[in-house]
Structure 1
């Protein structure tokens, strides 16, 4: 799914937009036991509460593609005969009324999810009359191209609040508010099937993980039996390690700056072109940057070998996962943040056998809020 397709489905999660008539799920305790199961009609739920329920489900489609939102692909063989795909299809085709499939799904989730404390497994099914779009992008609400049937699963921690002093307006007094259990935003979840080219794609699901350091691989294996890329934070750490360990002495400021600039330009170009597909950078693009920086062929080859081993030879990566929003230069005692477009203000030098980081200061310099003069 691309950014526009995710946004189109996210807009469904409002009472006046969605065809979600009820939600169902189960409440699991810290010992991985189902405490209760529920099926709640949204039509009989007060509007404020139904809006909050839909808002929780909507969070499962939040974040950045390639970071929080990951495409999960099924093979043709899985679609034909795997129990994982058959279970998801049974849940979708029955609008979450196939009890055998639902109970089996609960058990798969409970066996594979590692969350501290209590949590909810929340499910909702929707049918969307997809409006037709003409070649010029004009949306025609009265004409439907197809009906997209899908369901969303949200795994939400349930957390105990702290007791606190609170003001109660009904008696105009302060009272203790006791501790209570509240539903937190989803930690993970998914949409099935994917909404690709504004149509149902049963060969894909859109998977969500709130934590960029954790992709819940056991859950993905149990529910989809598919591979998932390493978490975004791990991708960045791995990429940085590959540069350090393969380039060695050639890993200088100019090389890292050039790589960072290439990633930034990729993002800027993607944004300027308003492309719906998430931006990616290939191994060959990084290789070209290293060669332009006159890194030795031996070290470029070492980089390529390590990249293939860690990510896969044909794997493209998201630039968002490989760079900070600002260029960070850090020593044990000093940290400098530089606007990405002004990395040229910084250079490294050796003066009298001592290493220096030099920052060109053309404009006002402020130290602890005080403008200073450099003479």
Structure 2
């Protein structure tokens, strides 16, 4: 973040919020650009933090401050009317209708400026918080910070799905999608020890598809497809936004199959009697609507439940 918006926030911080005209200008900016049909309360705080010194062994020394981190913390909190209900009036010894009042809820939006990175202040970065990831309020971000807001997790996920669909086309098969799922989750697992979240550049997304079995011929239009989906030449995608680590799901118009994401290998496609089929390997018991049932048995073997 650079330019006029950065200078404005630095003036607010360095002035300790004592310049009322500057503070009012900030509040006016929020009110003019925060599209919200409900009541809300804007909290703007100026504070400082003594950064403890650190020994060569990495041990913090609380009584030896290296520098002071001075910052602004802003929270935008919904203000709602408390729910109607009954309460006990101790003086009258009766149950009666409880008084309703306006209450400040937990923040729905907020930011910290400047960011605190590697034990130091970074005036070119800030932390932005939104309770609902799909509601970033881009107008407010542009007005306050002078920057293009990041894509929401939903937009990144849908954009990635669009890229995959357009790239593999109608000839894409189950094996490719299975490989993409497994390779992406493996990349995240390999990155677990790193401090930064794993993000994929356009080049890395293309390599992911190639490693997952997408033919080179189909990747020829990948760059155009990527730019069309994200309106930028190279938009970094957070792996956590485009990978689904909680489920692996297959769907037809009449059937939905949910698979443990770590056992996608249990499902495969085969041609059986001239028809394309999904085959699920069964090595354990099967339940139908909570009832344990038999699997197909080898001819000559007695019926038995799998245990």
Pair 1:212 & 2:155 matched: no
Asked if the contact 1:258/1:289 (under 8 Å) is kept, the reply is no
Aligned counterpart in structure 2 of residue 146 of structure 1, from 56, 59, 67 = 67
Q: Provide the C-alpha distance between the structure 2 equivalents of 1:135 and 1:247, rounded to a whole number of angstroms.
A: 53
CA spacing shift, 1:124–1:297, aligned 2, 3 Å: same
CA spacing shift, 1:146–1:308, aligned 2, 3 Å: same
Q: Provide the C-alpha distance between the structure 1 equivalents of 2:92 and 2:133, rounded to a whole number of angstroms.
A: 45
TM-score (norm 1): 0.73
Q: CA deviation at 1:330?
A: 2.2
SS of the residue 1:130 aligns to: strand
Q: CA deviation at 1:230?
A: 1.3
Aligned counterpart in structure 1 of residue 198 of structure 2, from 279, 283, 288 = 279
Pair 1:328 & 2:257 matched: no
CA spacing shift, 1:368–1:117, aligned 2, 3 Å: same
Partner of 2:235: 315
Q: CA deviation at 1:173?
A: 4.4
Q: Provide the C-alpha distance between the structure 1 equivalents of 2:157 and 2:277, rounded to a whole number of angstroms.
A: 26
Report matched runs for 1:196-275 at 5 Å.
196-271=117-192, 273=193, 275=194
Q: Rg larger in 1 or in 2? A: 2
Q: CA deviation at 1:339?
A: 1.9
Gaps of 5+ in 1: 1-73
Aligned counterpart in structure 1 of residue 55 of structure 2, from 115, 134, 146 = 134
Partner of 1:373: 294
CA spacing shift, 1:179–1:356, aligned 2, 3 Å: farther
CA spacing shift, 1:323–1:173, aligned 2, 3 Å: farther
**What RMSD over aligned residues (CA atoms) do the two structures have, in Å?**
2.1
Q: CA deviation at 1:370?
A: 1.9
CA spacing shift, 1:162–1:327, aligned 2, 3 Å: same
Deviates more, 1:360-369 or 1:281-290: 281-290
Pair 1:92 & 2:13 matched: yes
Pair 1:360 & 2:290 matched: no
Deviations 1:166-195, CA, capped at 9 Å, x for gaps? 355676643222433222222211100111
Q: CA deviation at 1:286?
A: 3.0
Deviations 1:144-184, CA, capped at 9 Å, x for gaps? 11100001111111122331233556766432224332222
Following TM superposition, the consecutive aligned residue runs of length 4 or more in structure 1 with deviations greater than 4 angstroms are: 167-173
Aligned counterpart in structure 2 of residue 299 of structure 1, from 218, 226, 229 = 218
Asked if the contact 2:183/2:212 (under 8 Å) is kept, the reply is no
SS of the residue 1:214 aligns to: coil
Q: CA deviation at 1:336?
A: 2.5
Q: Provide the C-alpha distance between the structure 2 equivalents of 1:353 and 1:164, rounded to a whole number of angstroms.
A: 65
Deviations 1:262-287, CA, capped at 9 Å, x for gaps? 2211221222x2x2212222333332
CA spacing shift, 1:266–1:104, aligned 2, 3 Å: same
Q: Provide the C-alpha distance between the structure 1 equivalents of 2:289 and 2:89, rounded to a whole number of angstroms.
A: 44
Asked if the contact 2:184/2:208 (under 8 Å) is kept, the reply is no
Pair 1:344 & 2:265 matched: yes
Q: Provide the C-alpha distance between the structure 1 equivalents of 2:105 and 2:219, rounded to a whole number of angstroms.
A: 46
Asked if the contact 1:364/1:371 (under 8 Å) is kept, the reply is yes
Deviations 1:133-154, CA, capped at 9 Å, x for gaps? 2344322212111100001111
SS of the residue 2:183 aligns to: helix
Q: Provide the C-alpha distance between the structure 1 equivalents of 2:60 and 2:258, rounded to a whole number of angstroms.
A: 44
Q: Provide the C-alpha distance between the structure 1 equivalents of 2:183 and 2:28, rounded to a whole number of angstroms.
A: 46
Deviates more, 1:357-366 or 1:150-159: 357-366
Asked if the contact 1:263/1:281 (under 8 Å) is kept, the reply is no
Gaps of 5+ in 2: 297-307
Deviations 1:205-255, CA, capped at 9 Å, x for gaps? 111122221221100111011112211111101110111122113432211
Deviations 1:337-363, CA, capped at 9 Å, x for gaps? 222211111112343443432221211
Structure of greater relative contact order (alpha carbons < 8 Å, 6+ residues apart): 1
